[in-house]
């Protein structure tokens, strides 16, 4: 291992940051599509307007799923215990998300096959579910991470999960779900108002300003809840940041407001929630003033700040346990080996820039407004 140029602690930190970047990338890029889908039955009132929204996200939504796939792959390869616990314990919740996401490609392909208004309306609502449900449940999942998942590890590292799907739907978790839904709807509204016109853009602007304002308020309430009404997990034993994985080697205590400890120890981390508030406030102003790209950039900054706030608050925890505190998984005791993380980093350094360049090229090609006239000129439009 001494031949690896980066030590184990640094590699673990790099992969913690990369995992956060991948998840934020999906929230920003995939949030464009999810947000438009969640607004589909409300912002668009006619078949033509709904076709505009479908063709707004239709050419790019599949590529945006790359971020979700990469995030899942990073968890699987870089943090195997986290993958094992989360994908087994949250299995039903993930099935619900996947079933909702499956409605999107089916809806895109089948909606236009029959001109019956009832047929198309049914698929419009299916596409709405495909945007609304994942946006909500992803936030609920983050809320449950902050609460701690009901699992325990025995001496042989076997997992014992004692929860169920309905236990995930607690008030705090649902609040986090609403924060997630609000920021995703704001992202979708920013996309619609930037690339459409007329009444369609005006309606999206109206719903977007409401969602941006709601996100700011709900994010503030969630922060107060974390500070004064939630017990955070705090490691009380000495941590060896370069030791082999062994979650049971530490001791953990619950402390009221413990999730705020990192902000006291490292004041610069307060930038994360500040960006969350400022980004959503900027999106609110941008929607009000009918700004295009600046609104989308502000909304993306808000998403970055909100998700980064959760990551900074949890650090170094990846998935705390609510039933066996010492079983909680952290960055230091749930990662892959030194060599595995290094090889993965080399692969990432090569392929991540390619993905970024390709994504930038696709959005450059697909830029421009989507109007009724542009649909008539495109025989391949949805």
For 144-161, write each residue's pLDDT tens digit: 999 999 999 888 888 888
The tens digit of pLDDT for each residue in 13-67 reads: 999 999 999 999 999 999 999 999 999 999 998 888 898 999 888 888 888 888 9
Question: Average pLDDT of the chain?
Answer: 91
Residue 1 confidence (pLDDT): 44
- Give the tens place of pLDDT for each residue, 272-308: 999 999 999 999 999 999 888 999 999 999 999 999 9
In percent, the amount of the chain with pLDDT more than 70 equals: 99
Q: What is the pLDDT of residue 317?
A: 95
Give, as one character, the DSSP assignment of residue 167.
G
pLDDT-wise least confident of 11-15, 84-88, 213-217: 84-88
Describe the crossing of helices 271-288 and 198-228 by its angle, rounded to 10 degrees.
Answer: 160
pLDDT tens-place string over residues 241-262: 888 888 888 899 999 999 999 9
| 47/120 Cα distance (integer angstroms) | 8
Read off φ and ψ for residue 290, nearest 5 degrees: 60, 40
Domain ranges of the chain: 8-377
Strands 231-235 and 252-256: antiparallel
Coil/strand/helix, residue 158: coil
Judged by average pLDDT, the poorest of 2-6, 194-198, 207-211 is 2-6
Question: What confidence tier does 2 reach under pLDDT thresholds 50, 70, 90?
Answer: low
Report residue 310's pLDDT band, with 50, 70 and 90 as the boundaries.
very high
pTM of the shown model:
0.93
Looking at residue 349, its pLDDT comes to 93
Contact 132, 39 (CB under 8 A): no
């Amino acid at each position: 291992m001494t031949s690896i140029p980066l030590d184990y602690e640094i590699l673990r930190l790099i992969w913690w940051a990369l995992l956060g970047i991948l998840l934020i990338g999906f929230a920003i890029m995939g949030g464009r599509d999810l947000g438009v889908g969640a607004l589909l039955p409300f912002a668009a009132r006619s078949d033509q307007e709904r076709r505009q929204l479908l063709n707004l996200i239709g050419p790019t939504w599949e590529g945006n799923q790359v971020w979700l796939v990469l995030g899942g792959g990073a968890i699987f390869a870089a943090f195997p215990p986290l993958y094992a616990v989360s994908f087994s314990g949250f299995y039903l919740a993930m099935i619900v998300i996947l079933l909702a996401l499956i409605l999107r490609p089916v809806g895109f392909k089948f909606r236009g096959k029959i001109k019956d208004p009832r047929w198309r309306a049914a698929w419009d609502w299916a596409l709405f579910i495909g945007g609304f449900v994942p946006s909500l449940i992803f936030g609920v999942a983050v809320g449950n991470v902050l609460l701690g998942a009901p699992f325990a590890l025995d001496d042989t590292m076997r997992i014992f999960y004692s929860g169920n799907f309905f236990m995930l739907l607690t008030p705090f978790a649902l609040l986090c779900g609403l924060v997630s839904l609000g920021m995703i709807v704001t992202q979708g509204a920013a996309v619609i108002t930037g690339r459409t016109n007329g009444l369609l853009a005006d309606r999206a602007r109206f719903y977007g300003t409401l969602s941006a304002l709601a996100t700011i308020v709900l994010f503030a309430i969630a922060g107060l809840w974390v500070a004064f009404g939630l017990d955070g997990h705090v490691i009380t034993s000495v941590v060896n940041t370069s030791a082999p994985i062994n979650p049971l080697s530490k001791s953990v205590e619950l402390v009221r407001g413990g999730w705020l400890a990192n902000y006291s120890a490292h004041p610069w981390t307060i930038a994360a929630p500040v960006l969350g508030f400022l980004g959503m406030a900027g999106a609110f102003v941008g929607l009000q003033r009918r700004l295009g790209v600046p609104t989308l950039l502000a909304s993306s900054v808000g998403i970055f700040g909100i998700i980064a706030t959760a990551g900074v608050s949890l650090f170094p925890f990846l998935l705390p346990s609510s039933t066996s505190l010492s079983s909680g998984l952290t960055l230091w005791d749930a990662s892959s080996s030194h060599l595995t993380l290094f090889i993965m980093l080399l692969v990432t350094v090569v392929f991540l820039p390619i993905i970024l360049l390709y994504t930038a090229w696709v959005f450059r090609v697909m830029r421009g407004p989507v109007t009724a006239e542009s649909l008539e000129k495109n025989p391949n439009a949805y």
